[in-house]
């Protein structure tokens, strides 16, 4: 076929590329011009502005098949108010909304205040993907309403939350067929920060739990049926931007054309002939065709001009490794499994906000991302803007449990149970607690300062947190981590630390690294009145990966036997007081490293006061001084240190037989890091999430209900009543998250 693609951006180059793969002759022009049916067999419009201006209507007049809707149908994108009204009338799930006329900021502010919930502010008309403001507070909301109102009619919509996906459907007026779901990255900055853009990258298929055909029936088919019933069949692409909320999928927007950069991500996955499918849509026969999609994934990364999206600066010379600037018309594959799609390029110089895109293909998203970024590494122009985190939300959507990261909590529990028998045979009468407790305990009558002293010992490690610390070059905190972890493990039995022994192993020892880690240990010991007695280092090439290291340690503490915790009067009705953690502490990092695999560690996400890397590496807290007054009150019945296994696995270790715990979710503030974790880990159920991570609670204090106020008053920071103990079945020590 002779195919004319109208437009000139990256989307149009992707459409042309897809048609050329099947031998068609393709022209890309900014407008229809004076072509006739004798010149061309099919027109595929790219930008929405051409469709709104009547491109499909003119093609119908000239009797040229056009894969695009009429100007009246294109209102589904050119007017957000019309789009919302149409969707609502057809029962398509979406947010609460209201449309306002130009300059009506007074009415809009009154509606928003009466609504009482966060909103999104959208210009009613076309804005090249940049007419949307997502305020983060009341002041920003008022400013957004006032600034948008002066530009024209606008819409306020309920602010929904959840992962987004883009559904692109090929429509023939009666039937619609779905292309692979994609996920766009609208904001200019990494970690989804900064102003909205037309799109800085996309990947496909999006890792969502909804089937594309099910979404098609809910969000696309009602629109197709509506236009069919009005004898004005909708032909072309219908794009549904969706948000997968906790209450189910909701419509964010409709577009009347291929998305940009979604087209650059989705079309390279299409094995079927795009031109043939588009022509079938114009004839009403797309249902007779099978849409074939290649296996694997794609990832598209956009390079933008400096100043984009507010004020792009253009005219910079673009260098491509292995290509001259005169070869732009023939540029396609630039590295194995990567394709370059020009957008704002004229004469080898930047000529638009979004300059070009590179799409990588691979067996999975990791391989596709690698190919895309390898290709982008060959593109150079002054002050180019490239997000290095495209696809960063995907790992969280793919995770369903800790086991999916290669760590099996249950297997660890089974190992402890299998060890118990062998270990218990070695225990004498002075050993009070052994394996399975927070630390080993044995009598120490020779310490005469106490009436009946016992020694309490704990040995532990820092786990895979050391990998992140090594990667970011911030290792002092892991020295603090190991000491404070062990202090807290003996503190829960009312013991104070005496001395600590450390162990550091690596593939190749680095004296600077060892000194930094031991400094962190010394600082933590000094703060807790503990002696750093000695340690051991080991160089183990072949056991540890190059650059990797491990930290472990043993702490011995002392306590009065009569003051050991937990007490034997822990009973149903007792109250659980939660004390804040400083972050994930030393647990769950195999999950967290996978969750944030594509996220830059130096970005400061919205609501954070420090970078993502610093938030993850916050040292494990010591609760020794925090709880000193509470322990001195003699009102504490038990303490539970929330480490690996979270609340569900650690609270039972201090409960008697037949006593369960009920934890009230939402009774404490999780903080921005744990809120982001919960937002990203959409496939992980709430119990599994609290089993992997402390989720903001590092220590639990068990007290009688009559003593709650007195105990909380002894703790010089905010604490929360997070649950109670309840009667359970015999043999049960279960934590219920309610």
Does residue 403 form part of some domain? Answer: no
Residues of the chain with pLDDT > 90, as a percent, come to: 79
CA nearest to 520, candidates 455, 589, 462:
462
Has residue 336 got a pLDDT over 50? yes
Name the domain boundary from 564, 581, 597.
564
Quick count: other Cβ atoms within 10 Å of Cβ 685?
12
Residues 321 and 347 in one domain: yes
Residues 598 and 717 in one domain: yes
Contact of 156 with 111, CB cutoff 8 Å: yes
The DSSP-derived string for 494-531 is: TPEEEEEEEEEEESS--HHHHHHHHHHHHHHHHHTT-E
Q: Are strands 333-335 and 385-386 parallel, antiparallel or unpaired?
A: unpaired
User: Which whole-number Å values give the CA distances from 355 to 45, 186, 312, 346, 376, in the listed order?
Assistant: 20, 16, 10, 10, 12
Name the domain boundary from 564, 589, 609.
564
Contact of 544 with 505, CB cutoff 8 Å: yes
Instruction: Pick the range with the lowest mean pLDDT from 46-60, 160-174, 176-190, 395-409.
Output: 395-409
Question: Residue 423's pLDDT band (boundaries 50, 70, 90)?
Answer: very low
Domain with residue 7: its CATH number is 3.40.50.20
Tokens of 545: 């990966």
Q: Are strands 2-6 and 42-45 parallel, antiparallel or unpaired?
A: parallel
- H or E segment at 634? none
Residues 39 and 106 in one domain: no
Does residue 400 form part of some domain? Answer: no
Does residue 420 form part of some domain? Answer: no
Tokens of 70: 């009429």
Residues 157 and 202 in one domain: yes
Tokens of 665: 């979710």
**Whats the size of the chain, residue-wise?**
738
Question: Residue 416's pLDDT band (boundaries 50, 70, 90)?
Answer: very low
**Bridge-partner residues for 412, per DSSP?**
none
Residue whose tokens read 């067999």: 41
Give the model confidence (pLDDT) of 440-497 as tens digits: 565 555 577 788 889 999 999 999 999 999 999 999 999 999 999 999 999 999 999 9
Domain that holds residue 254: 75-310
Q: Write down the H helix ranges in 446-493.
A: 465-472, 476-491
Domain with residue 377: its CATH number is 3.90.600.10
Has residue 422 got a pLDDT over 70? no
Name the domain boundary from 261, 285, 310.
310
Model-level pTM? 0.86
Number of domains in the chain: 5
Has residue 419 got a pLDDT over 70? no
Tokens of 713: 């008053």
CA nearest to 516, candidates 474, 472, 471, 476:
476
Contact of 45 with 51, CB cutoff 8 Å: yes
**Bridge-partner residues for 150, per DSSP?**
none
Residues 540 and 645 in one domain: no
Residues 36 and 113 in one domain: no
Give the pLDDT score at 332.
Answer: 59
Higher pLDDT, 332 or 492: 492
Residues 44 and 101 in one domain: no
Domain with residue 736: its CATH number is 3.90.650.10
User: How far is Cα 595 from Cα 405, in angstroms, rounded to an integer?
Assistant: 9
Q: Which residues of 669-678 are buried (b: 16+ CB within 10 A; e: fewer)?
A: ebbbbbebbb
- H or E segment at 29? strand 25-29
User: How far is Cα 377 from Cα 371, in angstroms, rounded to an integer?
Assistant: 10
- pLDDT mean over 675-695: 94
Does residue 416 form part of some domain? Answer: no
Tokens of 616: 């993850």
Does residue 266 form part of some domain? Answer: yes
DSSP class of 402: G
Residues 206 and 134 in one domain: yes
Domain with residue 549: its CATH number is 3.30.1330.10
Give the model confidence (pLDDT) of 524-576 as tens digits: 988 998 888 777 888 888 888 888 899 999 999 999 999 999 999 999 999 99
Residues 634 and 701 in one domain: yes
User: How far is Cα 128 from Cα 412, in angstroms, rounded to an integer?
Assistant: 53
Does residue 404 form part of some domain? Answer: no
Give the model confidence (pLDDT) of 83-116 as tens digits: 999 999 999 999 999 999 999 999 999 999 999 9
- H or E segment at 647? helix 646-650
Does residue 678 form part of some domain? Answer: yes
- pLDDT mean over 320-325: 67
The DSSP-derived string for 535-583 is: EEEEE-BTTB-TT-EEEEEEEEEEEEGGG-SS-TT--TTPEEEEEE-SS
Tokens of 552: 């472990």
Higher pLDDT, 128 or 12: 12
User: How far is Cα 472 from Cα 660, in angstroms, rounded to an integer?
Assistant: 41
User: How far is Cα 202 from Cα 358, in angstroms, rounded to an integer?
Assistant: 10
Does residue 412 form part of some domain? Answer: no
Has residue 45 got a pLDDT over 50? yes
User: How far is Cα 587 from Cα 694, in angstroms, rounded to an integer?
Assistant: 8
Half-sphere exposure of 109 (CA within 13 A, CB side): 16
Give the pLDDT score at 415.
Answer: 44
CA nearest to 268, candidates 338, 315, 318:
338
What are the residues whose beta carbons fall under 8 Å from the beta carbon of 119, sequence distance 6 or more? Answer: 112, 135, 141, 156, 157, 158, 159
Residues 557 and 578 in one domain: no
Residues 339 and 447 in one domain: no
Residues 601 and 701 in one domain: yes
φ, ψ for residue 503 (rounded to 5)? -145, 125
């Amino acid at each position: 076929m002779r195919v004319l693609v109208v437009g000139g951006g990256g989307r149009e180059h992707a459409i042309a590329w897809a048609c050329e793969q099947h031998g068609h002759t393709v022209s890309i022009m900014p407008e229809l011009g004076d072509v006739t049916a004798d010149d061309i067999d099919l027109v595929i419009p790219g930008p929405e502005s051409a469709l709104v201006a009547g491109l499909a209507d003119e093609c119908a007049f000239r009797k040229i098949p056009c894969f695009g809707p009429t100007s009246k149908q294109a209102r589904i994108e050119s007017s957000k108010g019309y789009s919302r009204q149409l969707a609502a009338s057809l029962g398509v799930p979406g947010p609460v909304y209201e449309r306002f006329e130009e300059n009506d900021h007074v009415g809009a502010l009154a509606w928003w205040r009466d609504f009482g919930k966060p909103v999104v502010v959208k210009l009613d008309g076309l804005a090249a993907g940049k007419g949307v403001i997502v305020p983060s507070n009341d002041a920003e909301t008022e400013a957004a309403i006032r600034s948008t109102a002066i530009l024209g009619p606008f819409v306020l919509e309920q602010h929904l939350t959840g992962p987004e996906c883009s559904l692109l459907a090929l429509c023939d007026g009666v039937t619609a067929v779905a292309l692979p779901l994609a996920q766009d990255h609208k904001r200019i900055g990494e970690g989804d920060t900064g102003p909205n853009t037309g799109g800085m990258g996309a990947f496909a298929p999006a890792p969502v739990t909804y089937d594309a055909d099910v979404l098609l029936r809910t969000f696309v088919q009602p629109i197709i049926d509506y236009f069919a019933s009005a004898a004005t069949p909708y032909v072309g692409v219908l794009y549904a931007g969706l948000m997968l909320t906790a209450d189910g999928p909701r419509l964010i927007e409709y577009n009347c054309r291929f998305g940009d950069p979604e087209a650059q991500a989705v079309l390279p996955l299409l094995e079927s002939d795009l031109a043939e499918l588009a022509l079938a849509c114009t004839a009403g026969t797309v249902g007779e065709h099978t849409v074939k999609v290649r296996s694997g994934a794609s990832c598209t990364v956009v390079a933008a001009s400096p100043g984009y999206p507010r004020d792009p600066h253009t005219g910079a010379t673009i260098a491509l490794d292995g290509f001259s600037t005169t070869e732009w018309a023939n540029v396609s594959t630039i590295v194995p499994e990567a394709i370059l799609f020009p957008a704002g390029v004229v004469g080898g110089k930047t000529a638009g906000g979004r300059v070009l895109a590179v799409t990588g293909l691979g067996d999975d998203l990791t391989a596709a991302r690698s190919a895309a970024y390898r290709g982008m590494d060959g593109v150079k122009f002054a002050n180019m803007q490239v997000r290095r985190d495209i696809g960063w939300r995907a790992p969280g959507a793919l995770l369903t449990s800790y086991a999916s990261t290669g760590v099996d909590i249950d297997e660890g529990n089974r190992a402890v149970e299998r060890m118990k028998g062998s270990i218990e045979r070695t225990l004498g009468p002075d050993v009070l607690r052994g394996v399975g407790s927070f630390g080993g305990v044995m009598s120490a009558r020779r310490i005469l300062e106490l009436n009946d002293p016992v020694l309490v010992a704990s040995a532990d490690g820092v786990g895979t947190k050391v990998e992140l610390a090594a990667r970011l070059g911030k290792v002092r905190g892991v020295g603090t981590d190991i000491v404070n972890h062990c202090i807290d493990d003996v503190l829960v039995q009312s013991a104070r630390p005496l001395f600590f022994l450390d162990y550091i192993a690596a593939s190749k020892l680095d004296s600077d690294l060892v000194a930094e880690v031991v400094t962190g240990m010394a600082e933590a010991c000094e703060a807790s009145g503990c002696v750093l007695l000695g340690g051991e280092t080991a160089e183990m090439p072949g056991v540890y990966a190059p650059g990797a290291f491990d930290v472990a340690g043993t702490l011995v503490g002392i306590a009065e036997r009569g003051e050991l915790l937990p007490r034997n009067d822990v009973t149903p009705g007792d109250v659980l007081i939660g004390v804040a953690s400083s972050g994930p502490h030393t647990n769950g990092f195999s999950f967290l490293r996978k969750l944030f695999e594509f996220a830059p560690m130096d970005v400061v996400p919205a609501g954070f006061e420090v970078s993502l890397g610093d938030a993850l590496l916050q040292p494990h807290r010591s609760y020794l001084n925090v709880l000193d007054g509470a322990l001195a009150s003699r009102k504490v019945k038990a303490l539970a240190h929330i480490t690996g296994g979270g609340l569900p696995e650690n609270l039972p270790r201090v409960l008697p037989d037949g006593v369960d715990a009920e934890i009230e979710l939402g009774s404490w503030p999780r903080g921005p890091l744990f809120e982001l974790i919960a937002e990203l880990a959409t496939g992980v159920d709430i119990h599994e999430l609290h089993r992997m991570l402390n989720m903001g609670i590092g220590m639990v204090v068990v007290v009688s209900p009559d003593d709650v106020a007195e105990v909380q008053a002894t703790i010089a920071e905010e604490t929360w009543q997070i649950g109670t103990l309840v009667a359970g079945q015999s043999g049960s020590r279960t934590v219920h998250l309610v």
